[in-house]
Each structure stands twice: as C-alpha cells, then as structure tokens.
Structure 1
Amino acid sequence: MSRESTRSRHQALPPAMREAVDDFADHLARVRNRSVHTVRAYVADLVSLLDHAGRMGCATPADLELAVLRSWLAKQRTLGAARRSLARRAATARTFSAWAHRNGLLATDVAVALASPQGHRELPTVLRADQAAALVEAPARASRATGTGTVDPDAGPGDDRARPGDETVRPVGAARPAAGAVGVGDEAVRLRDRILLELLYGTGVRISEACGLDVTDVDQGRRVVRVLGKGGRERSVPYGVPAQRAIDDWLRSGRPALAGPGSGAALLLGARGGRLNPTTARRIVAGYAADLGLPRVSPHGLRHSAATHLLEGGADLRAVQELLGHSSLGSTQIYTHVSVERLRAAYRQAHPRA
C-alpha cells in the first residue's frame, strides 16, 4: 500500500479508529522504540484492517471481533498476498489487539486465537570466504590497477541523497582516465568504499547501523565499534586489523577531504560531505561485486556471509547472536542451516557415493 493510499484510507476511517491508529503509532515509536520504517509498515497494515472492519460495520476498536480479523486476512489472501506478507499482517493484528486491550479499547484481546501462515524462510545468499575477501579488497586493487579512485569522473559528483548514477564504481582494471580527470576527492571516496566494505564484512553490522556510526563510536584502542541496533539496543562489535588499517587511512586522509559543514560527527560520508546514505552504500557494494563477476550481493549479503564464516570457523552460536544484534537466537540459527546446506552441496559434488 502506497503512503498516499494509506493516508487517504486513514482519513476515511471513523474518528475513533483514526485516533486509535495515531495512538498506536505513537506507542510503537515512543514506547517500543520501533524504527520509522517499522512504524510505517504497522500503520499501513492497521489502516487496511480497520478500513475492512469499517466496511463490516465496525465504528470503534471495541467492535472488533476475531471473525473480522480472519475475514481481513482471507481477503488479503484472495488479493494475492504472499504467505510472508500474511504472517506480518497477522502479527500487526495481534500486536494492535493486545495494545488496545491493555489500554481499555477492547474488552478482550480478540486476536489471541488468530492463526497465521508461517512465512517461507529462504536461505540467504552467502559468498565464499575468498569471494568476500576479493570484494572487501576491491577498492585497494582498483586504485593500484588504474592509479585512480573508484568514482567515474564522467558520472559527476556523488550525492548523499543517492541519486542514480552519482557514484559509479569503475570496473577493476579499467583504463586510466585522462590526466587531471581525477583528484583528491576520488581517492577519498576510494578510502570510504574500503572502510565501508571492511566494516560490513568485518563486523557483520546492518547497512543502517554502518551508515549511522559516528566517529566517536569507534574505539581504536580496543578495536570495537559501538552500534545502535534495532529497538535502540546498543552493542559493541569487534573488528580486525584490516578494518583498523582502513579506519586509520580514512580518518587520516579520506574523511578530511570530503568533510564539510554538514558532516557533523558522521563516520562515513557521501561525496558531497553529508552522512552516507544507505541507498548509495548498497549501490557501492553491488557495483564492486558486479565488477568482480561475483554473485549479486547486497550489504545484507555481506552480513550473512560474515555470520556463516564465523560459525564455520567454530564461533559459538550465542556469540554470533550477540555480534549480529539478534534479539532471538532463532534469527541466528538460520546460519547453521546455511552451513549444513553448503556441506551437503560439497558432499554431493565430491563424494563418489553421494
């Protein structure tokens, strides 16, 4: 559902329903400390539910019944919603029902018995260790091969608002541009790309967490970064010697070249000096991966790879859970399945009796 559609349907709700939506959104943001994106998704689902309830004769949250919730989910399924989407919408209904009951808007928690299909959980794409190393080292190799930075000078300056084409990664081994076509800013962007890739793979942080880092979040003495994760949970994540070298080079030579009045305390900067935008960061990762002929990979793919390689190297599952910032061990256990699948694939390929 688009934002415009959500706003339109929200305004069409009965006054009591509109007030409940607004109060619920405020609860998610202020009390539950949910992200803007999470609140937006919950609100869109809730507006859809209450709009459907209104068409069934409900004027206030107190009119909601289990049959209404089931009818709404059935309609979503008829409209072609995927199992994963249905599971998320059912979770929205349960969360809202529990909140409304606690706040006196519902006499009983009507969604307690609401069942939902289990979303199909696909195994994440994972790079091999040598592929991940090649990707992380790509900015340095590109500079040595071309004598330039990683930004195509014909693409124009980078933009922290992530307009398409602003930061184009030059293919590894591409011909060197004409003299004078690149400068200090290009080298600074290369250093920025290097620290970005080192942090994503070396720490397994989410792309939003990496882009949200401030310079003061890096403890170079202990070699850890302080990360603010989902739900406002803070954790410290260690990083290795290669990442330390990348941080040193970036803080010494790269960041000062890009920093401007709008930089603030941001660790990672866009080519215009503002905090690096996650959309731009995703494009940077994808560009280097494409240049190397690697499978299509995103920043989250590097996070998947880091977790899998840690477990394959013998790391404890709960330690990996802590590093990744998962609130539930079940979220981390998917990586054990990844490792088993890789083992099975190797067995099928190599064993004569497979």
Structure 2
Amino acid sequence: MTFCPPAHPLTVLIVDDSAFMRASLKHIVGATPGYAVIGEAGDGRAAVEAIRRLRPDIVTLDIDMPVLDGIGVLKAIRPAAGVAPLVVMVSAFTTQGADLTLTALGLGAIDFVPKASEHFKTDLAQVGDLLRSKLATAAAVLTGRDRLPHPPASCTAPARSAAAHPAATHPATPPPAPRPAPARGPADIVVIASSTGGPQTLPEVLRPLCPCPAPVVVAQHIPAMFSRSLASSLAAALGVAVVEAEDGMVLAAGTVHILPGGCNGEIQRLRPGVFAIKLSEGGNAVHRPNADILFRSAALSARRPVAAILSGMGSDGTEGARALAQRGCAVLAQTPESAVIWGMPRAAIDAGVVAEVLDPADLGRRLAMLTGKAP
C-alpha cells in the first residue's frame, strides 16, 4: 500500500542503546519522504531530556536500555501527555519483550516494530518496511488523516504541531446517525475487532462487560507472539478469564478468547448456544486475525451475535458487520475522540452498518446490556 507523505516533514527522535541500530533507523527514517530525524539518544535518561528539549513529533523507542529503560521513558513523559510525542516501540521480539511491549502500549505507545526475535536475527529490510508503515500510522494521527490512503492527490493536509493532543486531530463533525438495532433476546456471542490502539482500548471495553454471560471473541491485529501476552495481561488487569484461542476450543461464557496472531478464526455452531473456534493460517486476508472472517462466521453460526469495532486503520470488519446488520444484529463502533485511529470504526459507520457509536466504557456497558448481564 502506498501512503501519501505528510505535507510538512514530521520530526523523529531515534532512541536505542545500539549505535548500529540508531544509524540504521536514522537511515530508514531519513530516506522516507515526509519525515526528518531531529536527534538521537543512546539511553533512557538522554531520551527524556531530548524529548523535552527537541519536542519531536514521533519517537522510535527501544525497551532494553541502560540508565532508564523504555518503560521508564514512557512513564517519565506520560504526565505531560498534552505535549508528548507519538511513540513507536522498536524492540527485540522475544517472549519477555512481548510482555514489555504490551506494557508500553498501555502506557501510551501507539505501535511497535520487532527488530529481532527468538527465531531470527535482525532483518533491516523487514524493519524498514514495518517502520515506514508505523510512521504512516503516526502521521495519520498527527495530521488527522485517520484512514490511509485518504487525502486527494494534492496531499495538502496540514501537519499538526507536536504540542497538540492526538485526540484533537479526529474529525470534528459528528458521526452519521446510527442504524437502529431491533429489540432481541440476550446475545449469545460477542465478537470484537481492533487494531492500532486496541491493546489500550480493550481493557476499557471489557471491564464493564466481563464476566460476560456469553462468550467473547476478539480479533486483534497483532503478531503471533503478542496474542498470548495480550491475553495474559488482560486477565491480570481485569481479573477475569482471558485465553488465547486454540483450534477446536469450545467457547465458554464468562471467558474472553483472543484469536492467535497470524491466524484467522471462525465461529462454528456445535449445538444451540454452544460454539467452537476453528483456526486457519491460510487465506488472502491482509490482517490475520481477520475481523471480516470472524464477523461473517458469527452471522452464519450464532442466533443473536453482537459486534464491536474498535480503534484501527483501514476497513477490516466492515464487510463482516454488513453480514451481521443484514440479519438485524447490533454492531457498535468506537467514537472518534476516543480512538487512536478511527479508520475501522469510521469505515463501518460510513457503510451504514453501525447501530451505535460509543466511547469504550459506554460501549462495554452497552454490550453488557445486550448480553443480558445483570447491572
């Protein structure tokens, strides 16, 4: 996918304790139209000082660093959220690194790029491709272009000052009038789609919903290793059952099932009110797990499914939501001001398949009502 660069260069601070990696990232960013490296730092304390002094638009941040690690950097700059830059984590892709990266997302980082894993050494070409994609995501937030590719050929969207808060960049116009959902009995399954911003948003949605009287299945765009860490972190944060789904797993009420990264998941009806998950790694879907596949299977298999579309770029979930809406099933979407990226909710709203547009906590409460959860 080709992204239109921002009209004015966005400034980037490179933070990594490896001089080689700093030079490599500096080259990648410098060769990407629309971005300019404003500085670099080799440890966390120097990073905090550079962020406060240079006020970059974007920071690429390592986790494992001397003096102060990446988590410490995020905690140090978080109190000044109104002037904080957007942070993209660029870190080792290990089991421990996955847990720390999810912590970083909870502290305000918007996305992440693996620079190595437990199974392969650093691949700078892959790092470059991923980083350019994440820079485009950050640019979408900073310039208000929350659906990329979005601007016309002139690409004249103004660059946002780093002093503004990301939430202020979303469209000021209210969303389209919601599509009314018919009154029905309690939902028998809840399906949720999320991407960039999802790990930060899911706890807010799930807290008032869980434990849910119906099974909950989440398609979060995430690499394979991170899905298990995401399930563990959500379980610890919420105090409810959250598991990484397995092929053939019977879906349990009161449990949140996170689809594994890299796998698509389909709902299968075993008998009335009882469902299982079928996982597959094939298919041509850009995102795996794919929300359209999950939603369509819910529309085919469940009697009263309900769905929610959370923060993320693109339109995954819209076609699956259409299948649900055609059956009269409720589809909810996240509000623009509460989403890191409003692309996925907006695409579904524009398609006329959304019943209600709510902030995360209210969305969770509405899902709880739809499933018949006692107040």
For the pair shown, the structure with the greater C-alpha radius of gyration is: 1
Name the structure with the higher strand share. Answer: 2
Shared topology, TM-score over 0.5? no
Give the TM-score taking structure 1 as reference length. Answer: 0.28
Give the TM-score taking structure 2 as reference length. Answer: 0.27
Name the structure with the higher helix share. Answer: 1
